[in-house]
Amino acid sequence: MAVGVFDSGLGGLTVLDALTRRLPDVPFVYFGDNAHAPYGVRDADDIFRLTCAATERLWGEGCDLVILACNTASAAALRRMQETWLPPDKRVLGVFVPLIEALTERQWGDNSPPREVAVKHVALFATPATVASRAFQRELAFRAIGVDVEAQPCGGVVDAIEQGDEILAEALVRSHVEALKRRMPNPEAAILGCTHYPLMEKVFQDALGPAVKVYSQADLVAEALADYLNRRPQFLGTGTESKFLTTGDPASVSNKATQFLRRKIAFQAA
């Protein structure tokens, strides 16, 4: 009954933590493609190829349902995977959906015409590849009208977080927030469109100010998955063991992950 969780690096661990708290009886297999991280600077074809390979590896672990706990993969690869590649007995879900549900206050299955929502000015902070894909804006437009989205590509933040350089990461976050506010001085809401960014949520909030509602993904994704599995339990795979897999060096990735989550994490070679 295992579920797969995929990220290009360590950011998806923030989602995994929330998933294990919400669904303690479900085994989760985490796959980090650390050898090819970060994805945020790669082109769409490269991201699609790497994401498909990782998903197939998780299928091999008995995970019929895979969560792309990577905004870049969700933005650049998910739709193409679902339309051209995914077999009918498997499911791959992204992490934009719960954010858009929360922002628009409507469920994903609600196919009524787009309508006006309370929030009119939204700041999106994401990797360069996610921003370039415009996937968030496209999905939002299906559900809401009259929402102005200003997207800020946050180059360097993921690398700084993965390297454990909190001082650099904080400085970069503040710089990116300042750059966005020059174009949108008064956002009402901010989307942290990368699973690494919850670790910097307090810095984002401080830089944006208390009037801005900051949406972070982990808990929203966990609640959405619990609802999905309640409605579609057939996609609980055959896997029975929780584990951590990486394409990188297991010892090095384990050390970084342990620092990242502040608890012992042991990765195996994928």
Ligand-binding annotation for 111, yes or no, is no
Of 52, 63, 70, 154, the active-site residue reads 70
Question: Tokens standing for 21?
Answer: 């708290």
- Main-chain dihedrals φ then ψ at residue 114, nearest 5 degrees: -60, 145
Q: What is the CATH number of domain 3-94+218-269?
A: 3.40.50.1860
Q: Give yes or no: 70 in active site.
A: yes
Ligand-binding annotation for 228, yes or no, is no
Strands 115-116, 144-145: parallel, antiparallel or unpaired by DSSP? parallel
Sequence-separated (6 or more) residues with CB below 8 Å from residue 89? 64
Question: Tokens standing for 151?
Answer: 């997207």
Q: How far apart are CA 17 and CA 219, in angstroms?
A: 9
Number of helical (H) and strand (E) elements in the chain, helices listed first = 12, 12
Stated as kind and residue range, the H or E segment containing 52 is: helix 44-59
Q: Give yes or no: 194 in active site.
A: yes
Q: How far apart are CA 26 and CA 75, in angstroms?
A: 26
In sequence order, the β-bridge partners of residue 269 are 246
Q: What are the extents of the domains in the chain?
A: 3-94+218-269, 97-215
**Closest Cα partner for 62 from 15, 6, 13, 3?**
3
Q: How far apart are CA 95 and CA 67, in angstroms?
A: 8
CA-to-CA dists, residue 109 to 197, 224, 227, angstroms: 27, 12, 12
- For residue 168, count CB atoms less than 10 angstroms from its CB and return exposed for 0-12, middle for 13-18, buried for 19 or more: middle
The CATH number of 97-215, from 2.30.30.230, 3.40.50.300, 3.40.50.1860, 3.10.450.50, is 3.40.50.1860
One digit per residue, pLDDT tens: the chain, 270 residues? 799 999 999 999 999 999 999 999 999 999 999 999 889 889 999 999 999 999 999 999 999 999 999 999 999 999 999 999 999 999 999 998 888 888 888 775 677 889 999 999 999 999 999 999 999 999 899 889 999 999 999 999 999 988 889 999 999 999 999 999 999 999 999 999 999 999 899 999 999 999 999 998 898 999 999 999 999 999 988 889 999 999 999 999 999 999 888 899 999 999
- pTM attached to this predicted model: 0.88
Ligand-binding annotation for 175, yes or no, is no
Ligand-binding annotation for 55, yes or no, is no
Ligand-binding annotation for 121, yes or no, is no
- For residue 103, count CB atoms less than 10 angstroms from its CB and return exposed for 0-12, middle for 13-18, buried for 19 or more: buried
- Do domains 3-94+218-269 and 97-215 share one topology? The answer is yes
pLDDT of residue 202: 96
Of 52, 63, 154, 194, the active-site residue reads 194
pLDDT of residue 46: 97
- Main-chain dihedrals φ then ψ at residue 207, nearest 5 degrees: -70, -35
Ligand-binding annotation for 34, yes or no, is no
CB 167 within 8 A of CB 175: no
pLDDT of residue 259: 86
